[in-house]
Every structure is written in C-alpha cells, then in structure tokens.
Amino acid sequence: MSILSKKNIWITSGVAGLLCVLMLQLILSVRRNSITWDEDDHIYAGYMSWKHADFGLNPEHPPLVKMLAALPLLNMPLTLPPLQNRNFKHEAFLGGKDFIFKNNVDASAGRLVLVGLATGLALASKHTAIVVFPMLLLLAIWEVARRGSPAETGLGALPRETRTLRLSIALVIISAIAIVALWASYGFRYQARADGWQLNPPLAEFVHNLSRPREVRLLETVARWRLLPESYIYGLADVRIMSDF
C-alpha cells in the first residue's frame, strides 16, 4: 500500500470520527435546544407583551423579537395559563410550556399548509430538498411508534390508530401542496424550454447516463406521466450522474 493511500485512509477515518462526535453532540443536546426549552418561554412572553403589556415574564431579553414571534398568534382563540406569581424564570418557562402544549399545538390546519409550502419552496430551490419527504416519513413513523406521556395533550394523547390515520393524511396533503408549489415555480408547464427549443441531449437520452437501471426506469415513468416538470426531472438525473462521477 502506498503512502498516499495510507494517508487517505487516515483522513477518511478522521473525518468519520469527527462526524460521529458531532452526531453524538447533537443527540445529547437536542432536548436542550428544541421547542421544549427556549421557544415556548419567548413566544409566551411576546404574547403577554402584546395582550397585557406584561414585559416582566422574560426581562432578560428586550421585547421586539419575542413580540414578532408571537404576532401570528394574536387572532387565535388561545387559552392562557393562570399567573402564579412564581420566580420570573419559572413563571416564564413553566407558563410557556402550558401556553404552547395545552393549546392543541398539533391541530392547526394553517401549520399543515405552511409545511407543504415550505417543502415546495425547498424543492423549487434545490434538488437535494427531495430528501425532505423521507425525513417527514421518518418523523411520522416516530410519532406513531412512541408512547405519549399521561400528561400529554394533542396528537400524542390520541390512540395509535388515530395518530397513524391523521399523520398519513397530513403527509398526503403536505406532498400535494409541495408538488403544486413546485409546478408553480415552473409556470405549470412541463416542457423545459420555450419557443420550440429542446434540451440537449434530450431527457429520454440523458437519463440513460445514470448508473442504476431502477433510477432510469423511475425517472422515465415520472416523465412519461408528466408527474413533475421536465426541467426538474432533468436536474434530478444530472445531480445523480454528477454524484456518481
């Protein structure tokens, strides 16, 4: 084995080791950095600033960003947790958790539409955004498989069969909205080029540069039924070809 090959092995092993360390750090810290920690406190404080001119729940931060974050909530019929005159940090954190999770946070049709639009905008921005779909599927599987706590409300308190049905419907709706948003970015036109111009090489020829026959068949089927814009299909093939290269 040459010195260069040994060096490449050491570099690859080092990168893999660093990635494992990063993954471990993310796993251990995610509970401290998720919606269960800061955001509920800030959104609750921002909402109280709007509704009651109460700036004392989260005095360690000025109010502007918190009030902007709470702005979409102002016209919603929300239930406020009663103030208990606790230490200001306890009042904000514990009251914020009740404010977020006892207002049926998992049932908002508007959030479903926003997720679909965000997914569609991601697809229209980058071909690699297609991995959002398996990510959403894995999240849905986790929500179905996990056991909700006795105090949990919303989706986690529902029977597993009901959760499965609701999440399946949600995934279908999100996917439909995302695909419509993607088509909109191409002007709802299948052909990639205007004025009679054609892609060079044509899509039917270009996809055969893929190294995996099943991917060729998949993209040919999508193109045959015009399920996605021609330019988007062409781009997907190009991304896979270049990654293999």
Tens digit of pLDDT for each residue in 50-89?
A: 999 999 999 999 999 999 989 988 988 899 999 999 999 9
pLDDT of residue 35: 62
Domain limits, the chain: 39-101, 109-185, 203-244
193 vs 12, more confident: 193
Instruction: Identify the residue whose tokens are 């990635």.
Output: 19
Reported pTM: 0.66
In the chain, % of residues over pLDDT 70 = 90
Per-residue pLDDT of 3-44, as tens digits, reads 656 777 788 888 888 888 888 887 777 656 656 568 889 999
Highest mean pLDDT among 12-26, 36-50, 145-159, 228-242: 228-242
List CB contacts of 241: < 8 A, sequence separation 6 or more.
209, 210
* pLDDT value, residue 143: 87
CA dihedral 173, 105, 111, 145 (to 10 degrees): -40
Q: Which of 244, 215, 219, 238 is nearest to 229 (CA)?
A: 219
Please report which helix (H) or strand (E) contains residue 133, including its range.
Answer: helix 132-145
Structure tokens at 218: 């998949």
pLDDT at 31: 57
In this structure, of 81-90, 146-155, 200-209, the range with the lowest mean pLDDT score is 146-155
